[in-house]
């Protein structure tokens, strides 16, 4: 996953002075143990995680695999070539992104079928998480071609671990819709999920996204992480409404952004009278669907059940 880890997002900035690394080699390219220089990686598709900002955040196994690959598939050859140069690697690169994947994939599959070692990387982070590559993996698995992963940097996990919010259960939901109405509808669908929520977001839309989240989810604790692993890394932690007000006043932050929102606040289970009172108050100025969504989010109840009760109250004399 990227520094926002999404196709078409701004290019990650890698340190100009990042030193070349001298890996501790293993005899089979990181797939076994021992010393000496690595042999060529095994044929197949290798999903290689790359740094999300700091060029040193790449594993020795990833370097071995990139060094031994016959071909490296990447979103933007300029970004990947810079990373390769920093680490002293020189391999053929082929663009593979949302706009050309359907055209390129048959050629890649043919090379894999012939026994090639092909590495797939994203611009930053772990491939396939808000990045192209899923369809290629599906086709490779269906064709019986070996597929392996080389874990590494991920902006999603980096932000989650820094947010100081529950990490035992979380849902990664990618980017929310850019339009407010659709964004609020999606947030309403997620309101009852009893886990931390992780989103990628454009810096330009951040204040609007936080404001919509506050309106739908209430004053939940949240964290905005940006420039992760870089020199100006920042994590701002507060309630959704306070964070929305801050970024509305301060303007869009620089860098790539990950938003982590805490799970529904623990409240006592409302009795039927409390639920009806809240629903009647909302039904006075909203339809059953909108009223149910807001009350369900406030009480942490399933929206379907609250909607059924809202319809019953609306139809009651």
CATH number, residue 231 = 3.30.950.10
Beta bridge partners of 239: 221
Q: Are residues 60 and 146 in the same domain?
A: yes
pLDDT single digits (tens) 58-80: 999 999 999 999 999 999 999 99
Q: Are residues 58 and 95 in the same domain?
A: yes
pLDDT single digits (tens) 108-139: 999 999 999 999 999 999 999 877 899 999 99
Q: Are residues 147 and 230 in the same domain?
A: no
Classify residue 233: in a domain, yes or no.
Answer: yes
Model's pTM, two decimal places?
Answer: 0.74
Among 125, 152, 179, which residue terminates a domain?
Answer: 152
Q: Are residues 107 and 179 in the same domain?
A: no
pLDDT single digits (tens) 150-195: 999 999 999 999 999 999 999 999 999 999 999 999 999 999 899 9
Q: Are residues 147 and 161 in the same domain?
A: no
pLDDT at 240: 96
**Which of these ranges, 181-185, 232-236, 271-275, 277-281, has the smallest mean pLDDT?**
271-275
Q: Are residues 183 and 255 in the same domain?
A: yes
Look at the chain and report how many structural domains it folds into: 3
Mean pLDDT of the chain: 86
Q: Are residues 241 and 168 in the same domain?
A: yes
Residue 291 confidence (pLDDT) above 50: yes
Q: Are residues 241 and 310 in the same domain?
A: no
pLDDT at 302: 78
Classify residue 4: in a domain, yes or no.
Answer: no
Residue 3 confidence (pLDDT) above 60: no
Q: Are residues 53 and 139 in the same domain?
A: yes
Boundaries of domain holding 201: 156-261
Split at pLDDT 50, 70, 90, the class of 21 is very low
* Distances from the Cα of 54 to the Cα of 137, 147, 308, angstroms: 27, 27, 51
Distance CA 220, CA 262 (A): 6
Split at pLDDT 50, 70, 90, the class of 303 is confident
Residue 55 confidence (pLDDT) above 80: yes
Q: Are residues 147 and 79 in the same domain?
A: yes
Classify residue 16: in a domain, yes or no.
Answer: no
Among 261, 287, 302, which residue terminates a domain?
Answer: 261
Q: Which residue has the higher pLDDT, 55 or 302?
A: 55
Q: 316: which DSSP letter?
A: -
CA neighbours closer than 13 Å in the CB half-sphere of residue 201: 30
Q: Are residues 172 and 191 in the same domain?
A: yes
CATH, residue 79: 3.40.1010.10
Classify residue 25: in a domain, yes or no.
Answer: no
Distance CA 97, CA 108 (A): 13
pLDDT at 276: 84
pLDDT at 26: 36
Beta bridge partners of 125: 50
Other CB atoms within 10 Å distance of the CB of residue 169: 10
Classify residue 267: in a domain, yes or no.
Answer: no
Q: Are residues 127 and 205 in the same domain?
A: no
């Amino acid at each position: 996953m990227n520094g926002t880890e999404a196709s078409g997002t701004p290019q990650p900035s890698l340190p100009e002075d990042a030193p070349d690394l001298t890996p501790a080699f293993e005899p089979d390219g990181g797939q076994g143990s021992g010393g000496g220089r690595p042999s060529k990686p095994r044929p197949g598709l290798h999903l290689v995680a790359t740094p999300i900002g700091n060029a040193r955040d790449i594993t020795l196994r990833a370097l071995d695999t990139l060094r031994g690959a016959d071909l490296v598939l990447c979103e933007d050859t300029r970004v990947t070539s810079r990373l390769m140069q920093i680490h002293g690697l020189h391999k053929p690169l082929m663009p593979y992104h949302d706009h050309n994947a359907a055209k390129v994939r048959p050629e890649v599959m043919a090379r894999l079928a012939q026994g090639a070692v092909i590495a797939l990387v994203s611009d930053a982070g772990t491939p396939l998480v808000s990045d192209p590559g899923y369809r290629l993996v599906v086709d490779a698995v269906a064709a019986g071609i070996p597929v392996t992963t080389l874990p590494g940097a991920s902006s999603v996990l980096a932000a989650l671990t820094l947010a100081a919010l529950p990490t035992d259960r979380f849902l990664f939901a990618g980017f929310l819709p850019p339009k407010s109405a659709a964004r609020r509808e999606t947030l309403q669908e997620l309101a009852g999920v009893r886990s931390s929520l992780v989103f990628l977001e454009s810096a330009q839309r951040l204040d609007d996204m936080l404001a919509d989240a506050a309106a739908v989810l209430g004053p939940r604790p949240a964290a905005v992480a940006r420039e992760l692993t870089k020199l100006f890394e920042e994590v701002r932690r507060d309630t959704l409404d306070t964070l929305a007000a801050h970024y509305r006043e301060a303007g869009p932050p620089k860098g790539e952004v990950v938003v982590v929102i805490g799970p529904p606040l623990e409240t006592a289970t409302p009795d039927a009278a409390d639920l009806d009172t809240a629903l009647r108050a909302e039904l006075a100025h909203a339809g059953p669907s909108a009223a149910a969504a807001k009350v369900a989010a406030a009480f942490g109840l399933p929206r379907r059940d609250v909607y059924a009760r809202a319809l019953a109250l609306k139809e009651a004399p």
